[in-house]
Amino acid sequence: MKKVVILSLAVGAILFGLYGLAGNLAKNAETQSAVAGQPAQESTLTVWQLNQPVTRGQEVKRSHFKVTNMPKSQANELGVNQDMTLDYEQGAVYESSLEAGAVAFADVMVNPEDEQYIDLIIAKERVPYAIQVSPESVIGGVITNGSKVDILALSLPSAFSMDASEASTESKRNMYVTPVLTGVKVLKVDKQLIPGSRNETGTTEVNLILELTRKQVATLTVAKRISEIEVHKSIGEYQKADLHADAGDVLSNFKSVVEYRAESVTIN
């Protein structure tokens, strides 16, 4: 009798264990089935997009863009097949007008060294005009693309002597600095390295491409022929008279007798 009871308990324990194992197996099967029924999580790509509309010729700014991580399939529909980076040079402009949300591909931007750059940024009824300046004028970013400059004419007769007593009245009368053009926009700073020879070092030639009216082109052409030209960065609004100077402003004792009369002397 005792053996029967023990055997019954053993059989019951085995059956109970089998029941619990079957339940766990069923739950695992349901879980795996549910997971298998869910779509796999899609990878994402980094996409740069415009956060506002832009116009043709407008300067590229970092504030124009937003960075989005979007599903790969959605990015592919926009033409993006890998994570994007945004690289552009200072002064770059848009090649065409774009709506907000457009992808910022590299080919929608034109950098200053590209051929079509000038055509994109120049204003209507204006022409580009190149003028050579010293490299020191652009070192350290003093004059860059988009800067405003003043162009001054320095009249200094070739026969002029720094000795006031030897300088003729006419020479002193013609020694002055006067503004030719003020507040002119620089479209582009064009630098070219001129290779040197065995005994000479290379030099840098710098040309400023200015945005001028046809009248300003004529004025500057004449000024270059009859005087030395100086180009300086404009500091904003001021009186043109502030840009005028002559020898008397520099040398306080630069005076000589111009004309003698009966009982008077006229000093220039």
CATH number at residue 90: 3.90.1210.10
User: Residue 209 falls within a domain, yes or no?
Assistant: yes
Residues 192 and 236 in one domain: yes
**Range of the structural domain that residue 75 is part of:** 44-117
User: Residue 205 falls within a domain, yes or no?
Assistant: yes
Residues 180 and 236 in one domain: yes
Instruction: List pLDDT tens digits, range 226-252.
Output: 888 888 888 766 666 666 566 555 555
Instruction: List pLDDT tens digits, range 74-113.
Output: 999 999 999 999 888 888 999 999 999 999 999 999 998 8
Residues 139 and 252 in one domain: yes
Model confidence at 47: pLDDT above 80:
yes
Residues 143 and 113 in one domain: no
pLDDT at residue 108 in the model = 93
User: Residue 18 falls within a domain, yes or no?
Assistant: no
Task: Select from 82, 102, 117 the last residue of a domain.
Answer: 117
Residues 132 and 254 in one domain: yes
CB 137 within 8 A of CB 231: yes
Model confidence at 156: pLDDT above 70:
no
| Joined tokens for residue 39 | 């779509």
> How far apart (Å, rounded) are the C-alpha atoms in residues 158 and 171?
9
Residues 81 and 189 in one domain: no
In the chain, the number of structural domains is 2
Q: Which helix (H) or strand (E) holds 29?
A: helix 2-37
Instruction: List pLDDT tens digits, range 183-211.
Output: 899 999 888 888 877 777 778 888 999 99
User: Residue 19 falls within a domain, yes or no?
Assistant: no
Residues 176 and 230 in one domain: yes
Residues 101 and 131 in one domain: no
User: Residue 38 falls within a domain, yes or no?
Assistant: no
Contacts of 195 (CB under 8 A, 6+ apart): 202
pLDDT at residue 162 in the model = 45
Q: Higher model confidence: residue 35 or residue 1?
A: 1
Read off the pTM.
0.64
Residues 95 and 188 in one domain: no
Q: Higher model confidence: residue 48 or residue 194?
A: 48
User: Residue 16 falls within a domain, yes or no?
Assistant: no
Residues 260 and 211 in one domain: yes
| Joined tokens for residue 14 | 């085995």
Task: Select from 85, 102, 117 the last residue of a domain.
Answer: 117
Q: Give the up-direction half-sphere exposure of residue 227: CA atoms within 13 A in the CB hemisphere.
A: 21
Residues 163 and 255 in one domain: yes
Q: Higher model confidence: residue 89 or residue 3?
A: 89
pLDDT at residue 115 in the model = 87
Average pLDDT, the chain: 77
What is the residue whose two structure tokens read 């879980």? 31
Residues 250 and 128 in one domain: yes
